[in-house]
Amino acid sequence: MGIRFNEVSYDYSSFAEGLYTAIRDINLSITEKHEFIALVGHTGSGKSTLAKHMNALIFPTSGSLEIFGNIITSKRNKNIKYNSIRKKVGLVFQFPEYQLFEETVEKDIMFGPLNFKISVEEAKRLAKEALNLVGLDDSYLKRNPYNLSGGEKKRVSIAGILAMDPEILVLDEPTSGLDPAGKRVLMDLFKDINQKTGKTVVIITHDMDLVYQYFNRVLVMNDSRLIYDGNPDDLFKRDDLAEQHLDYPNTIKVLKHLNEKLNLNMNVYQKTNEDALKEIERAVSV
Amino acid sequence: MKSVIIGQYIPGKGIFYQLDPRTKIVSVLFIMIAVFMLQTVTQLLVALGIALIVLFLGRISVMKVIKGLKPIFVLLIFTFVFQILLNKEGEIIVDQEMQLTIFSVIFLIVAFVLWRVAVKFLKYRFILFLLFVATVFTILIFVDFGYSIVDSFNFRVYEQGIRMSVFVVIRLLIIITLSTVLTLTTKPTDLTQGLEKLMHPLKKIGFDSESFALIISISLRYIPTIFDEANKIMLAQASRGADFSEGKLKDKLKQVISLLVPMFIIAFMRSEELANAMESRNFVPGEKRTRINVLVFSYKDILTTVFSIIILASAIMLRVL
Amino acid sequence: MSYIEIEKLSFSYNEKTDVLRDVNIKIEKGEWIAVLGHNGSGKSTLAKTIVGLLEPKAGQITIDNIVLNEDSAYEVRKKVGIVFQNPDNQFVGVTVRDDIAFGMENLCIPREEMLERIKFYAKKVNMLDFLDKEPANLSGGQKQRVAIAGILAMRSDIIIFDEATSMLDPYAREDLIDYIRTLHKEGLTIIMITHDINEALMADKILVMNKGEVYAFEETQEIMKKQQVFIDSHLELPVSLTLANSLKDDEQYKEVRDQLWEYALTK
């Protein structure tokens, strides 16, 4: 079960670039429980395209994709209810402005559940729950989504998908535009959901610090290919990340700089500021 | 996808690409009026011939023009049939007795089903349609056994019917060809500027042609952006279960609202930000401005304008004399 | 008198809450000021009042000895340009050439002069090969550069960047900051509104806004040492400076601290 990509490629034609291959020969397996995966890559590497395949918003040009037992190929299959796949795999896009449209936050969060034929009372309950889950209290229910701040809009859009109770959650840059405290609140929330309910969570991000601190599996896209699928710790031990258009987490970069300039021999692989501080103190007192 | 949609401008060579947009607009206008003045089919056929020669001279690909005609093809057929069936003046050209019996009905239903099935599997929809129409006629004419549902009737085509339908169709053809050539060979921005300059005299009655043209060109510039956004919004809502293809009417309404509301809100935010940007760059509506893009009038334009005036004058004379 | 003087500036959208309250700032010619602050601290409003897009409730703004008011706004806008956050919502022209020309057209610059300036400034922002391209075929970073070219072509020497990098991907962001650095070297006065501390570190001075007021306005190096300023403003220092500030003030850590500062300021 879960999601399995089998030699999936996706081409599209754009006026600007002609025929363009967004993702190429992707082989990937995501189980439906317990996984906490980061999806990284430079702009244009194909991350978003990959994500849109996961809930059957777009179909592969070649290869096949299995989502909870449904086989998705380039041809539309009349026997598959593609819409129900979108309830199982919830995809949250990056910009809330493309999603929020109702008069109240409550109604907007209810939109998803109602589309999946959940009763109005149940949808209301799910909406309230999802709203609280993203850290907003009940006073937000009757407010107009467009009167909220950027960060609040972001959370409401995430609540809109959480309310659908998907089994796999895919989020495109959920923390971008938030201040550092806000980022941590959301990341802790996703980790919490993952650990308490066992749902698999896939997060697209540019923030290598978050990747290093929160994830145990990272997928790296580069120029339409999946070039790495493994542990972030091992990824960041490599020397060649710049060639893959990737950056290192800040703690590693800073400690590497100190090692080089001051001729120290610190273990640069520290995940938090506190650990890095301890390592510096240790190295200096020697 | 992007800018190819608007007016279907396709870059190319030939005289039509070298003319000032004002010339083209004015000439097309004059020629259209001339075409409306013609009264006989012969005159129209001559006009159509001239149009084809002119297209050839201008090195416009006839195929491209025919492609531009595709959308209104159905309209042309409809107009043709409409005139033929309803015009009852003049001599009777075709007089065919037809009957409708129980067997005719059965055959008609069978033919209909065969047609729909064939359309699903084969590609040649138009040819199949023609075959179906021919079959219907054959059935109505030749199946005369069995209980008659209605009294036998006569299918008649009158002289004026044919004349009128040909007349109207050729007129439509010429006019649409003209406008297709116009949009094919003129960039939307040039067209806007041409209109702007032509509407300049309207300033005297208070119509600000410059601001109007600016509004049009800004709208044109945002069309690809808006398409993109609509697409993104649909994907975001589809992720929440909005199914833009299936669903009952009531659901569809909600779907459409979930697409339109964000589009409108984004459009409002955009207009405010754009107004700020324009104002901060010293834009003041109504004030004099220099222009980076200028239209250049050449001898070719004068010749073309004279040519179209001659055509219009000839048409008027033909009508009056 | 300073090049830009903002005295007792206050602004509110309705009568109830002040978005800006009693703001006093002096900016010298050629300075690069970064404006930091949490969402809603009044940064963007400040930017818009400086170019006269918003009218203050109280106070006065003077730019190069011109007092900003309804009549002088036109003159002031010749000197100050503003690059907004959304690259798409400030691109007016149908092509790059048309967009760079837009400001000059408004100033009634003759056509031959416009053509020359377009070539010159397009080259400066590395968009000379793109003059006929339409915005739909440009990236966010490219559109922002076109906006800069348009402002430079108007011969403005003060540029305000209102969160101009926040909608760009990390690479485009770095490119734009590098570009701003070049402009600064050439003597332009720069006011850069951002919520990214790493960007702010490049500036000469940092202005921290908090709930509509000026919370701090000092040389970059001085402000970065004051951890509390950032905590109060819900901002987070970059890792290097957090470490630098957390190390004990002992002699043994001096070298480490210096290196951490060097890293922060030159990265």
For every residue of chain C, which 3-state class applies, written as one string?
CCCEEEEEEEECCCCCCCCEEEEEEEECCCCEEEEEECCCCCHHHHHHHHCCCCCCCEEEEEECCEECCCCCHHHHHHHEEEECCCHHHHCCCCCHHHHHHHHHHHCCCCHHHHHHHHHHHHHHCCCHHHCCCCHHHCCHHHHHHHHHHHHHHCCCCEEEEECCCCCCCHHHHHHHHHHHHHHHHCCCEEEEECCCHHHHCCCCEEEEEECCEEEEEEEHHHHHCCHHHHHHCCCCCCHHHHHHHHCCCCHHHHHHHHHHHHHHHHC
Q: According to the model, what pLDDT value does residue B89 have?
A: 77
Bridge partners of residue C213, in order along the sequence = C210
A99 to B236: CB separation less than 8 angstroms, yes or no: yes
Buried residues in C123-158 as b, exposed as e (16+ CB within 10 A): ebbebeebbebbbbbbbbbbbbbbbbbbbbbbebbb
Which of B3, B4, B227, B239 to probe by mutation at the A interface, max A CB count within 10 Å? B239
Which residues from chain B sit within 8 angstroms of residue C53, using beta carbons? 276, 279-280
B265 to A146: CB separation less than 8 angstroms, yes or no: yes
Q: pLDDT: is A190 or B204 the higher one? A: A190
Residue A139 token pair: 């006073």
CB-nearest to B235 from A14, A57, A160 is: A57
- Active-site residue list of C: 163
Q: Is the pLDDT of residue C177 over 90?
A: yes
pLDDT tier for residue B73 given thresholds of 50, 70 and 90: confident
Chains in contact with C, where contact requires at least 3 CB pairs less than 8 Å apart: A, B
Of C125, C123, C101, C122, the C-alpha closest to C111 is: C101
Q: Of the given ranges (A36-50, B94-108, C167-181), which has the lowest mean pLDDT?
A: B94-108
Q: According to the model, what pLDDT value does residue A103 have?
A: 93
C-alpha dihedral sign at B296, B221, C148, C56: positive
Rounded mean pLDDT, C125-138? 93
Q: According to the model, what pLDDT value does residue B4 have?
A: 40
Query: Quick one: DSSP state of residue B81?
Result: H
Highest mean pLDDT among A72-81, B308-317, C103-112: C103-112
From A106, A152, A173, A279, active-site residue: A173
The span from the CA of A187 to the CA of A202, in Å, is 12
Residue type, position C65, single letter: N
Rounded mean pLDDT, C188-196? 93
Q: According to the model, what pLDDT value does residue A71 have?
A: 93
pLDDT in tens, B184-239: 888 888 889 999 999 988 888 888 888 888 999 899 899 889 999 999 999 999 99
pLDDT tier for residue B105 given thresholds of 50, 70 and 90: confident
Q: Is the pLDDT of residue B140 over 90?
A: no
Q: According to the model, what pLDDT value does residue A51 have?
A: 96
Q: According to the model, what pLDDT value does residue A159 have?
A: 95
Q: Is the pLDDT of residue C201 over 50?
A: yes
The span from the CA of C113 to the CA of C102, in Å, is 13
Of A119, A140, A176, A168, the C-alpha closest to A3 is: A168
- How many beta carbons lie within 10 A of that of residue A63, not counting itself? 20
Residue B19 token pair: 């003319």
Rounded mean pLDDT, A147-171? 93
pLDDT in tens, A219-254: 999 999 999 999 999 999 998 888 888 999 999 999
The span from the CA of A57 to the CA of A49, in Å, is 10
Q: According to the model, what pLDDT value does residue A248 have?
A: 93
pLDDT in tens, B259-282: 999 999 999 999 999 999 999 999
Q: According to the model, what pLDDT value does residue B185 have?
A: 87
> How many Å lie between the alpha carbon of A87 and the closest alpha carbon of chain B?
7
Of A123, A117, A175, A116, the C-alpha closest to A151 is: A175
- Would you call A152 a catalytic residue per the annotation? no
ipTM of the complex: 0.92
Q: Parallel, antiparallel, or unpaired for β A168-172 and A200-204? A: parallel
Tokens 């108007």 found at? C154
> How many Å lie between the alpha carbon of A69 and the closest alpha carbon of chain C?
36
How confident is the prediction for chain B on average, in pLDDT?
A: 84
How confident is the prediction for chain A on average, in pLDDT?
A: 91
Q: What are phi and psi of C182, to 5 degrees?
A: -60, -45
Q: Does B277 touch chain C (CB under 8 A)?
A: yes
Q: According to the model, what pLDDT value does residue A245 have?
A: 87
Q: According to the model, what pLDDT value does residue B5 have?
A: 41
Rounded mean pLDDT, C234-249? 85
pLDDT tier for residue C85 given thresholds of 50, 70 and 90: very high
Q: According to the model, what pLDDT value does residue C161 have?
A: 97
A250 to C239: CB separation less than 8 angstroms, yes or no: yes
C-alpha dihedral sign at A183, A189, A194, A200: negative
pLDDT in tens, C62-80: 999 999 999 999 999 999 9
C236 to A258: CB separation less than 8 angstroms, yes or no: no
Task: Report the alpha-carbon angle B184-C128-C132, nearest 5.
Answer: 10
Q: According to the model, what pLDDT value does residue B6 have?
A: 43
CB-nearest to B277 from C89, C104, C154 is: C89
Q: pLDDT: is B59 or C140 the higher one? A: C140
The span from the CA of A216 to the CA of A213, in Å, is 9
Residue type, position B288, single letter: K
C-alpha dihedral sign at C78, C84, C86, C87: positive
The span from the CA of A240 to the CA of A227, in Å, is 12
Q: Is the pLDDT of residue B7 over 80?
A: no
Percent pLDDT > 70 in chain A is: 99
